[in-house]
Amino acid sequence: MKKITIDYTAIAVNTGGRKGKIKTDDGLLDMEVAMPKEIGGPGGKTNPEQLFAAGYAACFGGALGAVANGVKLDDAEITVKTHIGKTGDGGFGLAVDIFVKIPQANSLEDAQKLVDAAHEVCPYSNATRGNIEVNVSAVA
């Protein structure tokens, strides 16, 4: 495990699990959560998988900016799909698909090189590497 020098710490508190509430210590995020209908919940509220997808997308966008090498990213778009399912041993697991559109890249091949480089430096990618399946693809 790589040691890090901590520059920032985010704090969030949950009460009630997947049928409860989440709130950050600064109050900027304060919402109810619910299980999606697809896995037996009532739906109608955000859920941990959406929050994970949103966080990963934003983080991956930052990593993309760090490796862009002059490629303009003003209209780049990162779509993250977070999947949840049973692992077969009674537990649950996640899988992630990341689709990145970089209109100002010279080619889809060049865009894929940037996506692969971003995947190497992204904190979410580093945290999940070897733990869950993550597929990254440049798309037109």
Count of domains forming the chain: 2
> pTM, whole model, 2 decimals?
0.94
Give, to the nearest 10 degrees, the angle between helix 48-67 and helix 108-121: 110
* Mean pLDDT across 82-97: 94
Instruction: Please check whether residue 138 is in contact with residue 114, taking contact to mean a CB–CB distance below 8 angstroms.
Output: yes
Residues 125, 82 share a domain: yes
Residue 75: half-sphere exposure toward Cβ, Cα within 13 Å: 4
Cα–Cα distances (Å) from 106 to 9, 101, 111, 124, 140, in that order, read 37, 12, 7, 27, 11
Which pLDDT score, from 0 to 100, does residue 98 have? 98
Residues 118, 102 share a domain: yes
Q: Is 1 a residue whose pLDDT tops 90?
A: no
- Segments forming the whole domain that contains residue 18: 1-46
Residues 72, 21 share a domain: no
Among 4-8, 86-90, 109-113, the least confident range: 86-90
CATH number, residue 84: 3.30.300.20
Which pLDDT score, from 0 to 100, does residue 2 have? 80
Residues 63, 84 share a domain: yes
> What would the pLDDT profile of 105-132 be if each residue is shown by its tens digit?
999 999 999 999 999 999 999 999 999 9
Residues 65, 27 share a domain: no
Residues 63, 29 share a domain: no
Q: Is 33 a residue whose pLDDT tops 80?
A: yes
